[in-house]
Amino acid sequence: MVAPASPLRIAFFGTPAFAVPTLAALAGSHPIVVVVTQPDRPKGRGHRSRASPVMLAASERGIPVLQPERLKDPAFLDALGAHRADLGVVAAFGKILPDEVLSLPRLGLVNVHASLLPRYRGASPVQRAVMNGDAETGVTIMRVVKALDAGPMLATARRPIGPDETSEQVERDLADLGARLLVKTLADLTGGTSTETPQDDRQATYAPRLTKEEGHIRWEDTATAISNRVRGLHPWPHAYTFLQGRRLIILKTAAETRSPTTASRSPGSIVRAEGDELLVAGGHDTVVRILELQPEGRRPMTAREFLAGHAQLSGARLT
């Protein structure tokens, strides 16, 4: 397939903040004829309906927006087709696109995916990489096919994951990296110099959507695994535990090995609670140092601030 050298008429599919840098970068090099984003959803304590970050970004630029409840709705398909897009670009849209949508842009669709495919196909690639303690991640520009994140790859870019970085930090950088990579990829595509590399399905792993239940800390895990979970689930749904029946959100931790003074405690036991030190026994002779936390219904605080209002915690158990 040979693409024309002129700018491409783009139909953009995206919803969260991750997609906004790609939308902005595209708007500077190709005409975006329509944006497709998910309908406004109720959010926050007041459950007020709020537009997606992509909806807001498109509105600021005066780009027509479609927000279908059903992607197979004939009215939506007619409206999308009327824009006569050359190419569809997907960045964290949040829904699987049916054949009826895939067939509309004459050059098909490409996707900005936040992992080094075929690793972490699915909805939560950044969070899964951080939770698993990976030292590196990246972005992949790929063709969109019917199978989930399985299309041939047009380009990749790598990024290291720092030992203390959260998913929020990594995803923010990947959003910018993906936007730059996509613009370069489309230049190659329009210039006729792009190549497509099939994925090795045997190496594929899956990154399922996060659930709130995954935030519940298993103190039998190693301190490193617990700290990775804390980093990976920030900013949502957060890692959490319970102290005397009350929920504590754990915001920042460090992993340590047990010393003679912290040994012989069962996982979840608070082995030291004094000054700045809030140490909890993990599994396999490890200790979790809690640095920042948030009691339910209160503000985030340091370990010292928390301990100032909670005396005699040593020996108590987190569950």
With a cut of 70, say whether residue 214 has pLDDT above it. yes
Q: pLDDT tens across 56-102, in order?
A: 999 999 999 999 999 999 999 999 999 999 999 999 999 999 999 99
- Domain 212-308 coded CATH 3.10.25.10: yes
pLDDT of residue 47: 64
CA distance 310 to 252: 19
Sheet bearing 65-66, strands edge to edge: 65-66, 32-36, 10-14, 87-91, 109-113, 136-143, 153-160
With a cut of 90, say whether residue 5 has pLDDT above it. no
Residue 249 near residue 314 (C-beta atoms within 8 A) = no
Q: pLDDT tens across 116-166, in order?
A: 999 999 999 999 999 999 999 999 999 999 999 999 999 999 999 999 999
Structure tokens belonging to residue 78: 């007619």
SS (H, E, C) 266-295: CCCEEEEEECCEEEEECCCCEEEEEEEEEE
With a cut of 70, say whether residue 10 has pLDDT above it. yes
pLDDT of residue 257: 82
Q: pLDDT tens across 20-30, in order?
A: 999 999 999 99
3-state secondary structure of 174: helix
Spacing of C-alpha 134 from chain mean position: 14
Q: pLDDT tens across 258-312, in order?
A: 776 666 689 999 999 999 999 999 999 999 999 999 999 999 999 999 999 887 8
Question: What average pLDDT score do residues 10-16 get?
Answer: 98
What's the pLDDT band for 210 if we cut at 50, 70, 90? very high
Question: Where, residue-wise, is CATH 3.10.25.10 in the chain?
Answer: 212-308
The better pLDDT of the pair 47, 241 is held by 241
Give, in degrees to the nearest 5, the angle at Cα 109 between 74 and 49: 60
Question: Where, residue-wise, is CATH 3.40.50.170 in the chain?
Answer: 10-207
What pTM does this model have?
0.93
What's the pLDDT band for 189 if we cut at 50, 70, 90? very high
pLDDT of residue 4: 44
pLDDT of residue 271: 93
Strand partners, 12: 35, 89
For tokens 């054949």, the residue is: 99
pLDDT of residue 119: 98
What's the pLDDT band for 314 if we cut at 50, 70, 90? confident
Q: Which CATH class is domain 10-207?
A: alpha beta
